[in-house]
Amino acid sequence: MIQRIQTLWLLAAAVILLGLFVFPYVSFIDLVGLGKQIYVTGIYSSNNNESVRESASIALAIYAGIVTIVPLLIVFQYKNRKRQVLFIIVEIVLIVLLGIWMWSAAHTTLDVISQKLQAGNIGVGFFLLPVAIIFLGMAIGGIRRDEKLIKSADRLR
């Protein structure tokens, strides 16, 4: 299980997705001039170099947590490679849906203060999603290589 390269790619995807809880996905300055960051756990403002939570988004945090845990669960499906590939494809769809949800939440928050989501506002959190998808794609490549190796070994027998 651990010696297979796709296990490393899946673990890397899980660690990258865990970064959603550490890094903000949008940073902006509100009408009063306070710097604010949007994390998957909620909106935080900076007051006197302290981060204060203004509002929580529990549903988004739970969904992000589930999306983070799924690659770890996929690792243990190593005996059934077809199911593993299917679960990885489902995980990619879940990550895309998480990205849409994050964009929608950011867009709604910025609309309240008449701002738009711009390149200067986007934080590290948004860039973690495509990196995780790339790692999942690399895991699919590793699974397919394993499948090809097993089929060639069966042919030799």
pLDDT in tens, 14-29: 999 999 999 999 988 8
Length of the chain: 157
Query: Domain range for residue 65?
Result: 5-156
Mean pLDDT, range 112-123, rounded to an integer: 81
Measured CA angle at 23 (ends 21, 27), to 5 deg: 125
Compute how many other C-beta atoms are within 10 angstroms of the C-beta atom of residue 49: 5
Which CATH number characterizes residue 42's domain? 1.20.140
pLDDT of residue 2 exceeding 60, the answer is: no
Q: Which segments of the chain does DSSP mark as H helices, in order?
A: 5-18, 58-75, 81-112, 124-156
Q: In what order do the strands lie in the sheet with 50-56?
A: 26-29, 35-39, 42-47, 50-56
Contact (Cβ atoms closer than 8 angstroms) between residue 24 and residue 153: no
Give the pTM: 0.88
pLDDT at 155: 66
Contact (Cβ atoms closer than 8 angstroms) between residue 59 and residue 41: no
Could you give the CA distance from residue 58 to residue 64 in angstroms, rounded to a whole number? 10
Mean pLDDT, range 31-55, rounded to an integer: 84
What is the rounded average pLDDT for all residues in the chain? 88
- As for how many domains the chain has, the answer is 1
pLDDT digit string (tens) for 123-149?
Answer: 899 999 999 999 999 999 998 888 888
